[in-house]
């Protein structure tokens, strides 16, 4: 399990085109932290390690790349080490071992001065509990990052006002954090992070403390800002729906390890193991899987004059088209034909969804193995998963 998880095969590792490159990152808490990595204990499970050394493994041999402009979501349950992981990226928590490259620069090697410089200019973070200063006005909270790097008052206030406007809090400049609702406070947190114009935004479960409706608003806000400002983001969450909504790619973490890294479709469609499958079993596949995911070559003698869709269309939007047409839909991108999706394909995808939910999927698959030749390969334990295949 400790082998680094490779990127999806269709993404060659181009060293220059990576914002964050994390390799073999470990974080072990406790007195004997240095007695775990590189020893025989390295491969033991968490409980054994704690029993033998008293140390707690929070992050275990994690490797991944974050590409410029993408939202990279790390998802896991509480205690999976995801919050520790994101803090290691700017050494708010000092990693035990491993390498972190930010734009090719080794973060581990950075001196105190340089590290502060990185935090002040390149990477900004948004926190679950906001971390605002209750004694300062909103505008001074937002301007904090500029203030500590010595930007003059007039200039930093101008920038802060812009940011406050951008997150939709115009007019609240002189309020104090205590006077705002949780959602508004998190907007302040977001504005504070954006004010320093960082290249990368780190989100540590930023919306977990918010009510569901406000959470949805804030998620839309992040997507909007992401599109407008073209930032790279690492986003931690324990909410799969949130991960699927925001993530360009999702890393699923369990007991400190990355179990699977992939696009939302890959995670839902080809879970790397039973844990991920179980995790994603509640997801309505029709809202995640896209035409691209299901498309295939045309069968011989099949009609090919169905309606056409973009490859990124999710199944739930393909369904009405199929309902009104006997022919499979054509998947086209910029006028180029990529493949077809027929009623059977969609039905199968939905069936997997329904049956899995009832826990009867395996049995049915066996019964219908001949009818559904692909099903076995696509169940939760499929060999064809694009990830987890080592090196």
Partner 1 sequence: MTQPARTPSGAATGDGEGVWRRSWFQALVVLAVLVAGYWVSRTAGHPSWAGGFPTGIGDSFMAWLDGIYAWIVQNRNDSPLFLYFFNYVSVGLGSAVVLINQALDALTWVGVTALGVLSAWRAAGWRVALLVLATFGVFALTGLWNASMTTLALIITSVFIALLFGLPLGILAGRSERFHRRLRPALDFMQIMPAFAYLLPFVLLFGIGNPAAAVITAVYALPPVVRITALALREVDRGAIEATTSLGSTPWQVLTKVQLPLAKRTILLGINQTIMLAVSMVVIASVIGAGGLGDAIFQALSKVNVGQAFQAGLAIVMLAIAMDRVTGAVGNGAHTPRVPERLRLPVLGGGLLAVLATVVIGRSFDLGGWPRNWAVDIAAPVNAVNDAIESAVGGATSAMGTWTLEWVLAPLSQVLTGSPWWLVVLVAAALGWIFGGVRVAVLSAGSFVLVGLLGVWDNAMDTLSQVLVASLLTLALGVVLGVLMSRNDVFATILRPVLDAMQTLPPFVYLIPAVALFGIGRVPALAAAVIFALPPVIRLVNDGIRGVPAGAVEAADSQGSTKWQMLTKVQLPLARGSLLLAVNQGIILVLSMVVMGALVGAGSLGFDVVFGLAQNQLGLGLASGLAIVGLGLFLDRLTQGRRASHA
List residues binding partner 1 (CB under 8 A): 87, 90, 92, 116-121, 123-125, 127-136, 144-145, 147-149, 189, 192-193, 196, 202
What is the sign, positive or negative, of the torsion defined by CA atoms of 295, 361, 250, 262?
negative
Structure-token match 């407008």, residue found: 228
Q: Please, what is the minimum distance in Å from the beta carbon of residue 128 to partner 1?
A: 8
Q: Which is nearer to partner 1, 27 or 254 (CB)?
A: 27
Q: Which is nearer to partner 1, 134 or 168 (CB)?
A: 134
Nearest in space to 122 (alpha carbons), one of 163, 165, 93, 91 = 91
Strand order in the sheet with 56-66: 56-66, 20-29, 97-102, 105-106
Q: Which is nearer to partner 1, 208 or 313 (CB)?
A: 208
Q: Please, what is the minimum distance in Å from the beta carbon of residue 218 to partner 1?
A: 17
Q: Which is nearer to partner 1, 86 or 261 (CB)?
A: 86
- The residues, ordered by sequence, that sit 6+ positions from 338 with a Cβ below 8 Å of its Cβ are 292, 295, 311, 331, 332
Q: Please, what is the minimum distance in Å from the beta carbon of residue 23 to partner 1?
A: 22
Nearest in space to 118 (alpha carbons), one of 230, 20, 184, 22 = 20
Q: Please, what is the minimum distance in Å from the beta carbon of residue 153 to partner 1?
A: 14
Q: Are 149 and 156 within 8 A, CB to CB?
A: no
Q: Please, what is the minimum distance in Å from the beta carbon of residue 184 to partner 1?
A: 16
C-alpha to C-alpha distance for 254 and 256, rounded to whole angstroms? 5
Q: Please, what is the minimum distance in Å from the beta carbon of residue 372 to partner 1?
A: 50
Half-sphere exposure of 178 toward its Cβ, with a 13 Å CA cutoff? 4
Half-sphere exposure of 351 toward its Cβ, with a 13 Å CA cutoff? 18
Q: Which is nearer to partner 1, 124 or 259 (CB)?
A: 124
Measured from the Cβ of residue 88, the count of other Cβ atoms closer than 10 Å reads: 25
Q: Which is nearer to partner 1, 145 or 386 (CB)?
A: 145
């Amino acid at each position: 399990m400790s082998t680094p998880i490779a990127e999806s095969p269709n993404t060659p590792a181009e060293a220059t085109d990576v914002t964050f490159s994390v390799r073999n990152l470990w974080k072990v808490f406790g007195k004997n932290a240095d007695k775990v990595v590189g020893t025989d204990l390295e491969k033991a499970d968490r409980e054994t390690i704690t029993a033998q050394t008293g140390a707690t493994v929070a992050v275990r041999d994690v490797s991944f790349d974050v590409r410029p402009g993408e939202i990279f979501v790390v998802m896991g349950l509480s205690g999976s080490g995801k919050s520790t992981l994101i803090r290691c990226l700017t050494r708010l928590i000092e990693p035990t071992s491993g390498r972190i490259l930010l734009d090719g620069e080794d973060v581990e090697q950075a001196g105190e001065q340089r590290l502060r410089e990185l935090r002040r200019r390149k990477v900004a973070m948004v926190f679950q509990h906001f971390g605002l200063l209750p004694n300062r006005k909103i505008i001074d909270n937002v301007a904090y990052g500029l203030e500590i790097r010595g930007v003059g008052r007039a200039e930093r206030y101008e920038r802060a006002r812009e940011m406050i406007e951008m997150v939709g809090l115009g007019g609240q400049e002189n309020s104090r954090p205590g006077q705002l609702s949780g959602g508004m406070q998190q907007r302040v947190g977001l504005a504070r992070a954006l004010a320093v114009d960082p290249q990368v935004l780190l989100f540590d479960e930023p919306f977990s403390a918010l009510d569901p409706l406000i959470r949805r608003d804030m998620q839309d806000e992040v997507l909007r800002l992401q599109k407008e400002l073209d930032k790279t983001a690492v986003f931690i969450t324990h909410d799969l729906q949130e991960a699927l909504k925001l993530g360009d790619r999702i890393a699923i973490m369990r007991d400190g390890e990355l179990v699977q890294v992939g696009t939302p479709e890959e995670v839902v469609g080809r879970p790397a193991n039973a844990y991920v499958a179980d995790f994603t079993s509640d997801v309505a596949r029709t809202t995640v899987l896209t035409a691209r995911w299901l498309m295939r070559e045309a069968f011989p003698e099949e009609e090919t004059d169905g309606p056409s869709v973009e490859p990124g269309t999710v199944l739930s939007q393909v369904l009405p088209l199929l309902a009104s047409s006997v022919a499979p839909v054509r998947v086209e991108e910029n006028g180029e034909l990529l493949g077809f999706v027929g009623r059977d394909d969609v039905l199968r995808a939905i069936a997997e969804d329904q049956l899995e939910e009832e826990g009867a999927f395996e049995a049915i698959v066996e019964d219908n193995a001949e009818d559904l030749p692909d099903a076995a390969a696509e169940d939760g334990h499929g060999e064809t998963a694009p990830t987890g295949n080592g090196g």
